Structure 1
């Protein structure tokens, strides 16, 4: 009898344990589903964060993956036509790359061979060496630092997912940061223990903090301003973001370093680096298409003495880093008064053969906005605008629409000049003198990417002709065909343009306000370029007044007195002052 009672007791205990395990498993599964649900909602409501995992319907996932793979395979095939772009080193055969990374690269993204900068970088980067890499635009620089960064995270025996930020990537603009984040997410798609977060200014810091509180990302992609805000102010569960969390980050990448310096981020970079481990305790990688003179100080402060230099531009030569597959030419406008007619004629020629994707760079955001509004009536294809005055949502929509379009025109400021990859761009047109030689090179890099051919045209105003010496050493010639076209178009105005000019002269609110802002920004930009164009303030005011009339304004608008003072235009003839 006792032995029967003991058996019943054992069975009852076993049943209780079993039921307890089932209950725990059920609660854990519910918590997992709830967390997944909250993560999904957080992603949908957080415009500045790019989580790696997004619960999409399988059909949508497979369709997007197939479309992306087809595009990349097409570009890979194009790249094979350029023997200088791809190497004979295969991703699939590389023993240094984790199988999950290979799966993403080969199966998901359709990449087969490494580009030159990727092949030259991977061994030194995986060994933890500091890198200074210089390569032409469109040659795979982003994966050149992402692949070794992910591999080093996976090899780190002390890495605990969600507890530390292993890799920091600094980008000069939101658009580039987003693009890097998307590529990092693609590369880590099969690494369940590696996550990616992107953050940049123009969004609420609370959104970034909510994501940090859920899980610290393995890879953080950020713009300098927003990152500094968190380094100074943010605390997470009693830990200071700057002094405690980022002090453990031992991989840092500065992408488009020359652009970071151009935008005046040198001091911000120095402050950011001061929060990270000292250079002997971290790996630093600098990537760009050009190496400006101002980089020396950053190199001394950030790179160890045994850094590895990877030069994929003429094997160390500092000659032109423009892509050999871009045919470059320039022209000078016959006169200021025909600016709109000349712009329309140049775009008409660039869009004469289907399919086409044309990127037009202009000196200022206000000029981009005005021309996009004015020119939309002249083309049957979409005329899109991308610049700093648009909201982040509008900028992302414009970028995506241009990427997906078969034929389109994108008017943009320098916000699109660096690193951003728009597929199948047939021509880059630069109207007005770029801020620098490096800016010209990076703008040109939006075409002829992944082995395809492209065209580049620089259109200069008459008063900019003295700055042609800056083009010395570039393979750029005068375009006689375009000059003839501009001379012929100067005296003819299409009907739609006459109608828009009539709206302007009659005071149409939107067009008139846009033209006035375009004039002010034009004046301000060229006052800043006075030394380069070898012109006095009086001359620049005269040029700008001619420009105002060329875009349909009856006369140059009045300028608020405070702005006149800031521009240093007091006493300059032709400046009309408006009381504030």
Structure 2
């Protein structure tokens, strides 16, 4: 039933006895470095790519405190690269990709890496670092070929010139897409090697089309490089890139990276450039630097220590709901308010952008259910001719149950969209770069502080504005206060739907629209979503979990009965039954044909949904129009003061003061 979107060696050499020399760039200026005239001796070359050793304290201090290197030329625009890199690359960046001005990390990194130097870059995600390392990589690749005109003759899977390692499939696909845009028209071939995809298919692509640049995740890269039957080799490797180093190490890929490095050519015999990027510089990252980089590498730091991190600077609002049953309708009200008032507010704030949001949910089934409900919304419940409340704004979903191809397609579509909503599990929470996301919305408290921060990091990227919204059950506040203390969260009371007593049948337009859409989804699917969400809610709501899930199921999703739960949730409420999950919903046979719960045909053909579906037919809602005929329910954005909202305000619910938040 799931669809992608709605219509629309290391060689064990001698350990160096001295600390590695490091050159550090200026925070403000980016200059060209003239290659050193002093050759690196064989003795010094044997000091890198060793077995893991402790990065010396003096080297770490030197990386932080070295005197900035000076030069003669500052890079500001990509047009300045004319004469320094292949002209096709400059044309692709400025004309096809429509990027003219360099970001800070691009200016500094490109200036210091075109001479072939190793580089350690410290930069946040969303600052343009992908292009920062791709420019020197593709230039080294094409410079190593006889001429760009003969590049296709060199397309052999056994002659890979660059390897780029990323911690996740989505990030690897994102990097590969950017690389393909950059090398368009040059004959340079980019391929991927990521888990969760068909290995044989990718190997055939490499063998049939050739591969100059291979982008992948650590496990799959080691798999294809170590296999004697894959034909994937890199005897002339010129570039080795580790992106998101801190995440690679946090995710336990240290050994995989070591094993991959051991399969690559001896760096004392092949002139290889190593580029590493990390948002943080902890001891593990510095140890990896010592293992991988040549002496005299450049250290580029573009993070201002005085600049507040995203999770402390982005406006963050918290909506305290009467129950989870209020969640979908409250989000619907907020989205409609923004879109209704967008045009009027745009005249006051020229930087205001169309609504483009990621809605994070805590389980895969709840993610899919939310997508289906919002997909089926009607302005007038029951009247298919009344249209959708969001007009032509596209909706998407992404989670682990989709195939990798479907997830890639969804990411590409949402990335290119001017406006839209992506319903997502945590597969997009770390590192994914979706331009112009205006809102990150989280329904229910995430499992930990780190998850909240990574989700929030999908907005306010590339120096653009954004905001975060967190929707909490009133009995979730104790858990949220413990997990999110210290974050600048403010209570928002602008949404009347959040406090409606739906158990006692209080309602409004938004609630009726959600209820009507939910009835169009098979009861078993609704039951399964409640059941999986209940496993999360038990740890969040404690003794209130059973009541919370019952109200969500019956009053939020229109089920006749709440599903029974196994284990702790039942025992904590003194319930002795042990029925199968979802028993309250009846058997599938009792509902007759599932066609009754199929698509509202008025929105185009939804295609098949085989195995969480490929949904190859996405209907006809491809136009991202802005039919702003939505019914307004309040003036979104006009309540600047929001009463007394300092540190979650002062309203008390469930025995917990709102003032506990933000401490």
Provide closer, same or farther for how the CA distance between residues 578 and 464 of structure 1 changes in structure 2, counting only shifts above 3 A.
same
2:364 corresponds to 1:365: yes
Q: Which has the higher mean CA deviation after the structures are superposed, 511-520 or 369-378? A: 511-520
- State the 1:415 CA deviation: 2.2
1:10-29 to 2 correspondence within 5 Å?
A: none
Q: Which among 159, 162, 174 is matched to residue 167 of structure 1?
A: 162
Provide closer, same or farther for how the CA distance between residues 405 and 145 of structure 1 changes in structure 2, counting only shifts above 3 A.
closer
How far apart, in 1, do the equivalents of 2:483 and 2:297 lie? 32
Provide closer, same or farther for how the CA distance between residues 444 and 393 of structure 1 changes in structure 2, counting only shifts above 3 A.
same
Alignment-derived partner of residue 513 in structure 1:
524
- State the 1:91 CA deviation: 1.6
Is this contact kept in 2: 1:88–1:113, CA < 8 A?
no
Provide closer, same or farther for how the CA distance between residues 292 and 373 of structure 1 changes in structure 2, counting only shifts above 3 A.
farther
How far apart, in 2, do the equivalents of 1:296 and 1:466 lie? 35
Alignment-derived partner of residue 210 in structure 1:
204
2:188 corresponds to 1:186: no
1:453 counterpart SS class: coil
How far apart, in 2, do the equivalents of 1:453 and 1:428 lie? 12
Alignment-derived partner of residue 300 in structure 2:
310
Alignment-derived partner of residue 276 in structure 1:
264
2:455 counterpart SS class: helix
Is this contact kept in 2: 1:169–1:252, CA < 8 A?
yes
2:569 corresponds to 1:557: no
**What is the root-mean-square deviation of aligned Cα atoms in Å?**
3.9
Is this contact kept in 2: 1:199–1:226, CA < 8 A?
yes
Q: Which among 458, 463, 466 is matched to residue 476 of structure 2?
A: 463
TM-score computed with the length of structure 1 as normaliser: 0.68
2:139 corresponds to 1:140: no
- State the 1:187 CA deviation: 1.3
1:346-495 to 2 correspondence within 5 Å?
A: 346-354=334-342, 355-378=354-377, 379-380=389-390, 381-461=393-473, 462-468=475-481, 471=484, 476-482=488-494, 486-487=498-499, 492-494=506-508
Is this contact kept in 2: 1:117–1:312, CA < 8 A?
yes
Q: How many residues align?
A: 469
2:79 corresponds to 1:92: yes
- State the 1:93 CA deviation: 1.8
How far apart, in 2, do the equivalents of 1:576 and 1:267 lie? 47
2:332 corresponds to 1:344: yes
Q: Which among 215, 218, 222 is matched to residue 224 of structure 1?
A: 218
Q: Which among 299, 320, 338 is matched to residue 309 of structure 2?
A: 320
2:186 corresponds to 1:198: no
How far apart, in 2, do the equivalents of 1:448 and 1:256 lie? 19
How far apart, in 2, do the equivalents of 1:207 and 1:261 lie? 29
TM-score computed with the length of structure 2 as normaliser: 0.60
How far apart, in 1, do the equivalents of 2:213 and 2:527 lie? 44
- State the 1:457 CA deviation: 1.9
How far apart, in 1, do the equivalents of 2:532 and 2:286 lie? 33
How far apart, in 1, do the equivalents of 2:444 and 2:293 lie? 37
Is this contact kept in 2: 1:328–1:455, CA < 8 A?
yes
Could you report, residue by residue, the CA deviation over 1:50-92 in whole angstroms, capped at 9, with x for unpaired residues?
xxxxxxxxxxxxxxxxxxxxxxxxxxxxxxxxxxxxx961222
1:433 counterpart SS class: coil
- State the 1:141 CA deviation: 1.3
Answer 1 or 2: higher relative contact order, Cα 8 Å, separation at least 6: 2
How far apart, in 2, do the equivalents of 1:430 and 1:263 lie? 24
Alignment-derived partner of residue 66 in structure 2:
none
- State the 1:368 CA deviation: 0.8
Is this contact kept in 1: 2:364–2:401, CA < 8 A?
yes
Alignment-derived partner of residue 65 in structure 2:
none
How far apart, in 2, do the equivalents of 1:403 and 1:551 lie? 31
Could you report, residue by residue, the CA deviation over 1:386-405 in whole angstroms, capped at 9, with x for unpaired residues?
22212334334433443454
How far apart, in 2, do the equivalents of 1:306 and 1:184 lie? 28
Could you report, residue by residue, the CA deviation over 1:264-304 in whole angstroms, capped at 9, with x for unpaired residues?
54554444344334677744333344567765665554455
2:315 counterpart SS class: strand
1:138 counterpart SS class: coil
Could you report, residue by residue, the CA deviation over 1:332-379 in whole angstroms, capped at 9, with x for unpaired residues?
334344333333333333443444222212222221101111222333
- State the 1:579 CA deviation: 6.5
How far apart, in 2, do the equivalents of 1:549 and 1:283 lie? 60
Is this contact kept in 2: 1:195–1:217, CA < 8 A?
yes
- State the 1:504 CA deviation: 6.6
Alignment-derived partner of residue 20 in structure 2:
none
Is this contact kept in 2: 1:175–1:416, CA < 8 A?
yes
- State the 1:196 CA deviation: 0.9
Structure 1 unmatched ranges of 5 or more:
1-86
Is this contact kept in 1: 2:545–2:569, CA < 8 A?
no
How far apart, in 1, do the equivalents of 2:556 and 2:267 lie? 53
Structure 2 unmatched ranges of 5 or more:
1-73, 343-353, 378-388, 582-663
Provide closer, same or farther for how the CA distance between residues 292 and 519 of structure 1 changes in structure 2, counting only shifts above 3 A.
farther
1:114 counterpart SS class: coil
1:332 counterpart SS class: strand
1:287 counterpart SS class: strand
Provide closer, same or farther for how the CA distance between residues 311 and 492 of structure 1 changes in structure 2, counting only shifts above 3 A.
farther
How far apart, in 1, do the equivalents of 2:455 and 2:318 lie? 14
How far apart, in 2, do the equivalents of 1:276 and 1:570 lie? 55
Provide closer, same or farther for how the CA distance between residues 559 and 486 of structure 1 changes in structure 2, counting only shifts above 3 A.
closer
Provide closer, same or farther for how the CA distance between residues 426 and 503 of structure 1 changes in structure 2, counting only shifts above 3 A.
closer
Provide closer, same or farther for how the CA distance between residues 89 and 404 of structure 1 changes in structure 2, counting only shifts above 3 A.
closer
Alignment-derived partner of residue 597 in structure 2:
none
Could you report, residue by residue, the CA deviation over 1:159-218 in whole angstroms, capped at 9, with x for unpaired residues?
9832411111223343332322221112112423x2211233343322222222224311
How far apart, in 2, do the equivalents of 1:294 and 1:208 lie? 32
How far apart, in 1, do the equivalents of 2:445 and 2:296 lie? 39
- State the 1:483 CA deviation: 6.3
Q: Which has the higher mean CA deviation after the structures are superposed, 337-346 or 354-363? A: 337-346
Is this contact kept in 1: 2:373–2:518, CA < 8 A?
no
Q: Which among 265, 275, 278 is matched to residue 285 of structure 1?
A: 275
Is this contact kept in 2: 1:289–1:321, CA < 8 A?
no
Identify, as 1 or 2, the structure richer in helix. Answer: 1
Is this contact kept in 1: 2:222–2:260, CA < 8 A?
yes
Provide closer, same or farther for how the CA distance between residues 539 and 264 of structure 1 changes in structure 2, counting only shifts above 3 A.
farther
How far apart, in 1, do the equivalents of 2:565 and 2:267 lie? 50
